[in-house]
Structure 1
Amino acid sequence: MSVLPLVFTSGWASGINAYAVVLLLGIFGATGVSDDVPPALQRTDVLIVAGVLFLCEAVADKIPYVDSIWDSAHTVIRPLSGAVIAALLAGQSGSLPEVAAGAVGGSTALVSHLVKAGTRMAVNTSPEPFSNVLVSIAEDLGVAGIVTFAVFNPVAAAIIAAVLLVLGIVTVFLLVSRIRRFLRRRAQRREEKRLAAAGAADGPPH
C-alpha cells in the first residue's frame, strides 16, 4: 500500500504539534505496533528529546500570547519536521520517492501550522484565558487520535485530516478581523515597550 496517506496525515499533524507526532510514531514503532515507522524515529534519544519538547509545548501552548510567540518560533520547525518525517516514512516503505514525500509532508505541515497560528491569534483576542486551554487540549487530542488512527487505517485518517485542514482554512478566513485585531494589539504593545525603554534610557528630567 502507498505510504502517501500516512505522509499526508503526519504532515497535517506536524503542523499542529510536530513533537507529538515524532513521539507517537516512535512509540508505535518501538513497541511493534507498526512496521511502517522508520528506525530513526524509534531511537531512545529521539524519543526523550521529543518527549521533553512535547511537555514544553504542552505548557506554552496553553498560555495566551505565549502560544502565538511559540507558534512564530515554530514556523520553520514544524514544516521542516513534517518534511523529514514524511521522507523517513517514504524511505521505510519504498512506495514513494523521498523528495516527493518530503514536499507533501512539508507543505501540508506549513498550511496546517498557518491555520493553527491564525486560529490562535483570533482566540487571543478573547479576554479570558480558558479558550486557549480548551483549544490546545482539543488540538492535542486531535493529533493523538488521528495519528493513532492513521497507523491502523491510513486512508481514512488522511481523509479526516484533509477535511479538518479545509475546515481550518475556512475558519481562519472567517476570523480575519479578529486576527488583525490581535496583530494591532501586539504592534501596540511593542510600541509601548519601545517608548518605555526610550524613556528609561533618557533618564529623569533635570
Structure 2
Amino acid sequence: MTVLPLIFTSGWASGINAYAVVMLLGLLGRFAGADSVPPVLERTDVLIAAIVLFVCEAVADKIPYVDTVWDAVHTVIRPIAGAVVAALLASQHPGSLGEVAAGAIGGGTALASHLVKASLRMAVNTSPEPFSNIVISLLEDLAVAGLVTLAIFHPWVAASIAATLLTVGLLLVWFAFSRIRRFLANRRERRERRAARTPLASPVGS
C-alpha cells in the first residue's frame, strides 16, 4: 500500500509548511510525471497560489516572534491542508485506503508536526539573536522539500525518516517543557526564600 507512506510523509510535511507541500507535489506531478499526484494540484491556478503563499511563509517564518504568530494562525490551516492533500492522494489509489481514513491520518500527522514546530520555535525565540530562526527555518524548508520529493519515488524510506523526525521532535518538546517547568519552579523557590529572609517593616510610629 504505497499510498500510506506517501500520505504520512505529506501529512508530516504539511504540519511544517503546507504551502510547500502543495507546490512541490504540483510541480512534481506536472513536470516530473509523478502519477501519484492528484491532477487538481497540477493546475496552474493552484500552483500560483501555492507559490505565492509559500514565499509569504518563507519570509514570515524567518522573523523572530512573527514566526510564532504565523504558526498560531496556521494551527487550523496546516492540519486541514494535510487532511485534504491526504484525501486527494488516496483518491488516486481507489481501494487502497479510504479518503476519510487518509484524511484522518494526514490531518493528525500534520497537527502533531505543527505542534512540534510551533513549540520548538517558541523555545528558539527566547534567544536574543535572530540567526537561529533563519537557520532552523531553512533546515525545515530543506527537510520538507527533500522528504516530499523522496516520498514520490521511495515512499517507505521517506515515511521512515518523517516518523523519526516526528519522534525526535516530540522528545525535544517534552525535554524543553520539562526544563522550562524546572526553571520556573526553581525561580519561584528562590523568590520565596528571599521573601522569607526579608524582615517585615515596622509599623510607623512604633
| TM-score over 0.5 for the pair | yes
- Paired with 1:149 and 1:40, the residues of 2 have a C-alpha distance of 21
Offset of 1:31 from its aligned partner?
A: 1.2
Deviation at 1:179, TM superposition (A): 6.5
Counterpart residue number, 1:167: 168
Q: What amino acid maps onto 1:50 in structure 2?
A: A
Q: Give, in angstroms, the shift of residue 51 of structure 1.
A: 0.2
Q: Distance in 2 between matches of 1:81 and 1:179?
A: 31
Structure 2 portions without partners, runs of 5+: 182-206
RMSD: 1.4
Q: Is the 8 A contact 2:2 2:156 kept in 1?
A: no
Percent of aligned positions that are identical: 69
Match of 2:42 in 1: 42
CA positional deviation for 1:52: 0.2
Hey, what's the Cα distance between the residues in 2 that align with 1:14 and 1:31? 21
CA contact (8 A) 2:63 2:133 kept: yes
Following superposition of structure 1 onto structure 2, how do residues 1-206 of structure 1 map, counting pairs within 5 Å? 1-94=1-94, 95-176=96-177
2:126 and 2:46 map into 1 onto residues whose CA distance is: 36
Highest CA radius of gyration, 1 or 2?
2
- Cα shift readout 1:99-148 (whole Å, capped 9, x = no counterpart): 00000000000000000000000000001100000000000000000111
1:13-41 superposed Cα distances (whole Å, 9 cap, x missing partner): 00000000000000011114310000111
2:75 match: secondary structure? coil
TM-score, reference length from structure 2: 0.85
Taking the aligned partners of 1:178 and 1:34, their CA distance within structure 2 comes to 45
Cα separation, 2, equivalents of 1:48 and 1:31 = 15
1:177, distance to aligned residue in structure 2 (A): 5.5
CA contact (8 A) 1:68 1:121 kept: yes
Q: 1:18 to 1:178 in 2, by over 3 A?
A: farther
- State whether residues 18 and 78 of structure 2, in contact with CA within 8 Å, keep that contact through their aligned partners in structure 1: yes
Cα–Cα, structure 1 residues 16 and 114, in superposed 2: closer, same or farther, change >3 Å? same
Runs of 4+ in 1 over 4 A off after TM superposition: 177-180
Q: How many residues align?
A: 181
Does the 8 Å contact 1:115/1:172 carry over to 2? yes
